[in-house]
Amino acid sequence: MSQNLPYTQSPYFHIGRASELENKSDRLLYRFLEMVPALLSWGTILGSIILAYFVPVAAAIFIIVFDLYWLLKTAYLSLHLYNNWKRTRHNTSVDWHVMLEPLKYEDIYHMVILPFYSESYEVVSKTIEAISKVDYDLKKMIVVLAGEAKAGDHAELVAERATKEYGNLFGHFFVSIHPAGLPGEMPGKGSNITYAAQQTRIHVLDKNSIEYKNVLVSAFDIDTVAYPKYFLCLTWYFLTAEKPYQSSYQPIPLYNNNLWDAPALSRVVAGSGTFWQMAQQERPDKLVTFSSHSINFDTLHKIGYWQTNMVSEDSRIFWNAFMAYGSDYYVVPLAYPVSMDANLASSFWQTLKNIYKQQRRWAWGSENVPYILFNFIKNKSIPLNKKIRITFVQLEGYWSLATNPILILLLGWLPVIIGGRNFNQTVLSYNLPYITQNLMILAMSGLMFSAFVFWTFLPEMPQYYGRGRKIFMFFQWLFVPVTIFIFGAIPGLDAQTRLFLGKYMGFWVTPKHRGKATQ
């Protein structure tokens, strides 16, 4: 880590959990902060139930006001979704060569790190193949295949085969095999890609005298397929950013690799994730890196790479940089997609289990809350107003994920059930289900636009599906009330509760399964 960024020397900079802190009061404080998301979420849910029993009128008023808030928030986010949809359509059609003409980018390298574990060679090769077809000088591409020693011979075999098939296509094709059991590390993507980046620095960048500042690192998943103009687009945004070395670069995750083969619930969950990211791209001051993202190598090196002792390394890298640069660090929304896999397993029920586990792992991003709050307390260089704003945004985000679907779906009728006879004789009790139902129907009507946006991003339908499957792509959005509850609120609460109880989650690798179309 860098001497120029003094906060990177702080013992709190790369903290993963409370037990890593030596000072007892720091440890207790951090432990308390780990409980905060669950306290807020469970406090809201239990408080609403208690309120519905003891003061049903207040509970009914609260839920009506809350449903109105939800309706207007949905409309507000839909506005952002629309704006980003226009920008994405523009960015996917613009000629990036023309855009880059006034800029000097011949020295810009792209390092693409592809971590893999037990994925099949077919999955790995599709991703590398897509990179080999991008519209960028392949001699300026550094492809890093990052395997795990824990996977045994499989990693070596895949790496060997990939090197043989693709090694000569790129300027540099480097294989790193992350050793198992390194001290202080949690097995997972973070530790793997950090090791790979460090090894690539030594064996590729330093060896070939490639300047760190000229390298953009894209930390992909093994199923991330880059569209042909992605690296041109990324280069342009890097070269035109206000603070290119104090910015991360975030594409939009589409889950198009196997979309036609995935079941409807999986598509709805995947699409919902895309819409959220698209809306967030229009609010760059609230945007945090997620999944596949890019960062300048010099910056990455200065802040000590991705944390190896926690799960959500994709978002944590942003917060590391944010703290290191005293909040003078940003995310540049690319409004340009990358394609990934929607959840698909060999059976329907296994698919549902995998969706739940993946959503829970993403909701485990609430482990950033104690990191942020703790470092806000310790880092005096960040302005107070920023601390307050970010604290509110982060807490509200995880709180709403875990509670809002429950409040909407359950509390619309709870005061009527448990509020007692006096409440049940009021006009309010009779109107409550009717008013909340109508507000939610209005909110659901916004799904029509979401369905349209989803439709415009659909890849070509495989020939072995009929027109019915295409039509169902519209009606599948009726599952949203189910998915936001079962694959939104419940895993969100699950993750926050585990953090509250100190039952830390490890990294769970989403199994990649391709259906008929992509095999």
Partner 1 sequence: MTPHSSRTRFLYFIFFVLLFISAAPFILLYSMGYNWGKNFSLLKTGGIYVYAPQNGVDVYVDNKLDNTTSIFQHSILVKDLRPNQYTIRVTKTGYLDWKKTVPVKEEKVAEVYPFLIPANIVTTSVPQQIHSTNSTTSVLVVNSEYKNLIALFATSSKPKISTALTVSTSSTSSALLTLPSIESKKVVVEKDGNILHALWQGGVEDTPFYFCISASTCAKDFLVYSAASIGTFDFYPNRNDVVLVATGPKLTVVELDKRPPQNIVELYTSPTGENLDFRVVDNDTVVVKEGKKLTKLSLVYAGQ
Binding residues for partner 1 (CB under 8 A) = 60-61, 64-65, 68-69, 72-73, 75-76, 79, 83-84, 86-87, 90-91, 281-285, 333, 335, 420-422, 425-432, 435
Distance CA(330)–CA(237), nearest Å, equals: 13
Q: What DSSP character marks residue 283? A: -
Distance CA(178)–CA(175), nearest Å, equals: 10
Q: Are 255 and 344 in contact (CB under 8 A)?
A: no
Distance CA(481)–CA(46), nearest Å, equals: 21
Distance CA(333)–CA(427), nearest Å, equals: 48
Give the nearest distance from C-beta 442 to partner 1 in angstroms. 11
Give the nearest distance from C-beta 518 to partner 1 in angstroms. 32
C-beta closer to partner 1: residue 239 or 435: 435
Residue 489 Cα to chain centre, angstroms: 16
The DSSP result for 6-63, as a single string, is GGGGSTTTT--SGGG--SHHHHHHHHHHHHHHHHHHHHHHHHHHHHHHH-HHHHHHHH
C-beta closer to partner 1: residue 160 or 285: 285
Task: Find residue 112's DSSP bridge partners.
Answer: 143, 218
Distance CA(48)–CA(164), nearest Å, equals: 61
Give the nearest distance from C-beta 296 to partner 1 in angstroms. 20
3-class DSSP state for residue 209? coil
C-beta closer to partner 1: residue 61 or 410: 61
> How many other CB atoms are there within 10 angstroms of residue 157's CB atom?
13
Give the nearest distance from C-beta 327 to partner 1 in angstroms. 16
Q: Are 163 and 173 in contact (CB under 8 A)?
A: yes
Q: Are 89 and 120 in contact (CB under 8 A)?
A: no
Give the nearest distance from C-beta 453 to partner 1 in angstroms. 16
C-beta closer to partner 1: residue 282 or 314: 282
Residue 175 Cα to chain centre, angstroms: 26
C-beta closer to partner 1: residue 384 or 427: 427
C-beta closer to partner 1: residue 89 or 378: 89
Give the tokens for residue 397. 């985000």
C-beta closer to partner 1: residue 190 or 337: 337
Give the nearest distance from C-beta 413 to partner 1 in angstroms. 14
C-beta closer to partner 1: residue 55 or 138: 55
Give the nearest distance from C-beta 285 to partner 1 in angstroms. 7
C-beta closer to partner 1: residue 242 or 460: 242
Give the nearest distance from C-beta 77 to partner 1 in angstroms. 10
Q: Which of 300, 290, 289 lies closest to 324, judged by CA?
A: 300
Q: Are 321 and 24 in contact (CB under 8 A)?
A: no
Give the nearest distance from C-beta 431 to partner 1 in angstroms. 4
Q: Are 508 and 187 in contact (CB under 8 A)?
A: no
Give the nearest distance from C-beta 414 to partner 1 in angstroms. 16
Distance CA(163)–CA(169), nearest Å, equals: 10
Tokens 């950033």: give the residue.
368
C-beta closer to partner 1: residue 377 or 442: 442
HSE, side-chain direction, 13 A CA sphere, residue 271: 28
> How many other CB atoms are there within 10 angstroms of residue 230's CB atom?
29
C-beta closer to partner 1: residue 82 or 485: 82
Give the nearest distance from C-beta 408 to partner 1 in angstroms. 15
Tokens 């006096």: give the residue.
422
Distance CA(189)–CA(507), nearest Å, equals: 8
Q: Which of 77, 73, 82 lies closest to 404, judged by CA?
A: 73
Kindly report the backbone phi and psi dihedral angles of residue 80, in degrees, each rounded to the nearest multiple of 5, phi listed first. -65, -40
C-beta closer to partner 1: residue 88 or 366: 88
Q: Which of 413, 442, 444 lies closest to 430, judged by CA?
A: 413
Give the nearest distance from C-beta 286 to partner 1 in angstroms. 10
Give the nearest distance from C-beta 294 to partner 1 in angstroms. 18
C-beta closer to partner 1: residue 71 or 401: 71
List the 225-226 sheet strands across, edge first. Answer: 172-178, 141-148, 109-115, 215-219, 293-296, 247-254, 330-339, 225-226
